[in-house]
Amino acid sequence: MKSMVSKVAAVVMLAATTGVGARAQFSTACTDATLKGDYSVTISGQIFLPGGVVVQRLGINITHFDGAGHLSQEDLVLSSPNAPAPLGVPPKNASGFQIDETGTYTVNPDCTGMLTINFPNLTTSTGGSVKGAVISAHFTISDSGRAVHILVTSLTPPGAPGPVPALISSEGRKIGPIEQD
């Protein structure tokens, strides 16, 4: 019994001196500049609309982070066949990617952060306009800024009065060489 107590005490002392069980410490602090350049991103998830409609989403995008808290992107996102008809037509480039998406981001020293993406207004068939979608998300940065892992925390569909539940995640990888300041 004394042997067992001694072993437990030794493990507890070792854990205390090595920091096991303590909050993680980061050797490199991240800043907004950690996300700088173009990232190729995959998108996957579900949107839960009123009335019990669940829309599957799958897509890709290119997001440009300017290193100072602003972003722009273009994307191509497909929805499951049960998705409601679009309220209007978004601006697109020649490849069919939706364009003119802009937003802001903030990176915390522990390499976590938040971002908001504002989608452009949609043009209706009658020439009117519908407010574009708004997405808020949290993210983590890994591989010295070469990868970003994004989880949507709020999604307001085009023309909606407020957010709807969503389970959407994205994985992004930096395109090209890492820029050095």
Assign domain 26-174 one CATH number from 2.30.29, 1.10.1740, 2.60.40, 2.40.128. 2.40.128
With 0-12 / 13-18 / 19 or more C-beta atoms within 10 angstroms meaning exposed / middle / buried, residue 18 is exposed
Q: Which residues pair with 57 in a beta bridge?
A: 45, 79
Write the pLDDT tens digit of every residue in 67-101: 999 999 999 999 998 888 878 888 899 999 999 99
Mean pLDDT for the stretch of residues 126-132: 90
CA distance 113 to 31: 9
Reported as a pLDDT band with limits 50, 70 and 90, residue 152 is very high
Beta strands in 2-69 (DSSP E): 36-48, 54-66
Closest CA to 43 of 177, 108, 107, 133: 133
Write the pLDDT tens digit of every residue in 21-41: 545 555 579 999 999 999 999
Write the pLDDT tens digit of every residue in 36-68: 999 999 999 999 988 899 999 999 999 999 999
pLDDT of residue 133: 94
pTM: 0.81
CA distance 77 to 115: 19
Domain ranges of the chain: 26-174
Mean pLDDT for the stretch of residues 147-163: 94
Burial profile 63-93: b = 16 or more Cβ within 10 angstroms, e = fewer: bbbebebebbbbbbeeeeeeeeeebbebbee
CA distance 172 to 170: 7
pLDDT of residue 81: 87
Q: Is 51 helix (H, G, I), strand (E, B) or coil?
A: helix
